[in-house]
Structure 1
């Protein structure tokens, strides 16, 4: 699949990353390589694979929840940029 620079710039904008022009050219090659790999996977014949073979034997693995009190809250919240009371304020990321 052919990847164009506008596609890579759009992905970079969505992920809020900035690249130089040579880096964009490198990313184009990498994206094309990844997509060609997916195309080769898409060509596998999986018609003879039975996905329900062991479905009856599968059971969810659960662990018991244990409540732990973290004593040093100052250390826990040392990297928080801003708080309101006991709530952590995070920047809005939805456009």
Structure 2
């Protein structure tokens, strides 16, 4: 499957990114290499490979602490009362 500059531009649009023609060409090559690696992995026979799973779930202790509201909302661009307003991402 060949990745084109148009594919890269489409992906960039979905991620709300902008690339120059040169950057899109570089990323197309990099995406192509990544997909080739997955094709190589798909060819591997993993039937006899045993996986080790942890027998006990590792969980950290929940610690409650006070949160400063200014710190919480410091990086948000738009606020509506006590809610953070985010841009629509599904068209």
**Fold match by TM threshold 0.5:** yes
Name the CA distance, whole Å, in 1 between partners of 2:9 and 2:75: 31
What is the TM-score with the length of structure 2 in the denominator?
0.81
CA RMSD of aligned residues (A): 1.9
Using a 3 Å threshold, how does the CA distance of structure 1 residues 46 and 75 change in structure 2: closer, same or farther? Answer: closer
Aligned residues: 91
Out of 82, 85, 93, the position equivalent to 2:81 is: 85
Q: Secondary structure of the equivalent of 1:33?
A: helix
What residue is the counterpart of 2:62 in the other structure? 65
Using a 3 Å threshold, how does the CA distance of structure 1 residues 3 and 75 change in structure 2: closer, same or farther? Answer: closer
Name the CA distance, whole Å, in 1 between partners of 2:11 and 2:78: 29
What residue is the counterpart of 1:13 in the other structure? 13
Q: Secondary structure of the equivalent of 1:88?
A: strand
What is the TM-score with the length of structure 1 in the denominator?
0.78
Structure 2: segments with no counterpart, 5+ residues = none
